[in-house]
Every structure is written in C-alpha cells, then in structure tokens.
Structure 1
C-alpha cells in the first residue's frame, strides 16, 4: 500500500461489483492518513460519471475512508450546516495514487440535525441479483448499516460536527496555503 502524506493529490475510483468503473474524482487532497482512516478533502473536484458526464463538486467536503469498515463517509459543508453521505462500500485499496473501492449501492444520507434516510434500496436489490453478491457481502453491508446508524445517533467519529469543522479549519489554515503557494510557483516556472 502506498504511503500517502498530507497535501498529496489523489484520484478516487468507485467500481461496481462486476469490476466496471462507476464514478471517478480528480484531485482530492490527502488531509490525514492514520491507523483508522484515510481522510481526503474535496474542493471543486471534477467528477466523471459512468456515461462520461463531468461535473464539479459544489461545496467543500471531507471524505473519511475507514481502513477496516465497509463504508466511506463524505461530510459536505452546506449553507445550513453539515450533511453526510455514507457510501456502503468495500474497504479501499491504493494503486498509483488512486483510491479504489467497490460501491455496494446502498447509501445513508444524514442531515445536519442527525436525522437520516437509507437510499438506493432498489439499486441494491437489482445489483445483488445482477452481480451475484454473496450472502457474506449482503450480511456485511446490512451489519455495517446498523453500525453506522448507531454512530450517527451517538454523533461519533466523523458524525461529530466539531471534529469535522476543526479538520476543515486546519485544512484552510495550514494545508491549503501551501498547496496554493506550490501551484503558483509551478505556474510561474512554466511561464518563464
């Protein structure tokens, strides 16, 4: 596994169970790589869909990839607060500065008040048949959903607004200025 460090740029590729690329994110920034999580920052990141459509993220976000659990969580800074999008997914791997994981369809959307909704059950039911998910994978996904629901209720880990805000503050004050400075210096060198 590659040793990613704070400030590195990475790609993120989400696959479906059949091995096809489902979605990709360009230029996510490594915020932290510790024993529990790989944490990325997304700010105006270009996202490419399976059909080739491209769009840019609207709001800044912090993306938590657990090193042992079957999910990842995007914490999005909205005008009215922080919303969370939990992707049920395999643990990730890293190859050539690209984070790769298998998306298992089900998602949990968590609102600023910590209420939540499970999404994409039809997609999960269709794909578990079409892609022949094993009973072990199905059981693991539902078990992880129960774990996530409890973490959401307890405002634990990445569902703690204060933790997410402090990560964002550290990024803005310490990491982002270094990236902007480095990019400015690189542009100046190219222009000379």
Structure 2
C-alpha cells in the first residue's frame, strides 16, 4: 500500500547515479485518501543505491531540507517508489539538523521484524546524511538547489 503519492514531479536530470526532480504546488494523496497541495517549490534528489533521498523546500527564509531514510528507489513506468523506514532528518537553512521518528522506527522494526541488515543500513544512512550535511555534499552544496530550481523554471515555462 502506498503511504503517500505526489501527483507529479518534473524530472530535471536522470543518470546512472542520480535522479533530480522538481515540483511546486502539486497534489499529494495520503494513504487514507486525504489530499493536500505542496506550498513551496521543491528540488528532490534520489541517488542510485542510496538509502535516503533529499527534498529541498525553497522558502522565504531559506532552503529547508527533509531527508527520508528509505530503501534505494525504483523507477518503473514513470513511477518512482521506495520503502520509507520512518526515520527522517530535518535540516534548517543554517544546516543544523534533527533526527525525527526514532521511536516509530524502533516500534516498526520490532513489529515488522526488519532483518538486522536493514536496520544496519538505515542507521548507516542516517550517519551518511549527517556526514553529507557537515561536508556540504550533494543537495547541501552551496548553489545546488538554486541551480536546479533555475533549470526547473526554464523547463516549466517552455
């Protein structure tokens, strides 16, 4: 069952190593049927084989990031999917961060009997995100979000 589905995201770049997408004011449908629209433009980064993805939300007070810890993504028939393992890292414009939903991950890992390797991968992914934030890698590089947002605006207006 799908937990949450975005109506559309424009693919800005797709290679053997990464998928970069963007969206703005798109419909999101929750598993219970509730729908809502995103409030700000977002640049989404999915690295091949990575156990996390990054959503960079462009707001008036700066770029806020949300990293979902989950299985590596799959792209089939224009549908991107992954297993969300509950843990998230919320990053503020000054690159301070907080790890969210640790209790939920612990509970679900016990209820669903996550294999030890999955639990280890999830924990490694959290550490990897923190390292990337500290080293300003990937979506946390200065200018990364702005560059891809400019490309989104150009492609959107074609």
Whether TM-score is above 0.5 comes out as yes
Are residue 56 (structure 1) and residue 43 (structure 2) matched? Answer: no
Superposition misfits of 4+ residues, deviation over 2 angstroms: none
1:160 is matched with which residue?
A: 141
Which residue of 2 is the match for residue 105 of structure 1?
86
Secondary structure of 1:139's match?
Answer: helix
How much has 1:161 moved relative to structure 2?
3.5
Match of 2:19 among 38, 51, 58: 38
| Length-normalised TM-score, structure 1 | 0.80
**2:157 aligned with 1:177:** yes
Larger radius of gyration: 1
Does the CA contact (< 8 Å) of 2:29 and 2:36 recur in 1? Answer: yes
Gaps of 5+ in 2: none
1:54-112 CA-to-partner distances (Å, cap 9, x unmatched) read: 00000000000110110110000011000110000101112221101100000000000
1:23-34 to structure 2, matched below 5 A, reads: 23-34=4-15
* TM superposition shift of 1:34: 1.7
Give the TM-score taking structure 2 as reference length.
Answer: 0.97
Q: Secondary structure at the match of 1:39?
A: strand
Uncovered stretches (5+) of structure 1, i.e. residues with no partner: 1-19, 179-192
RMSD over aligned CA atoms reads 0.9
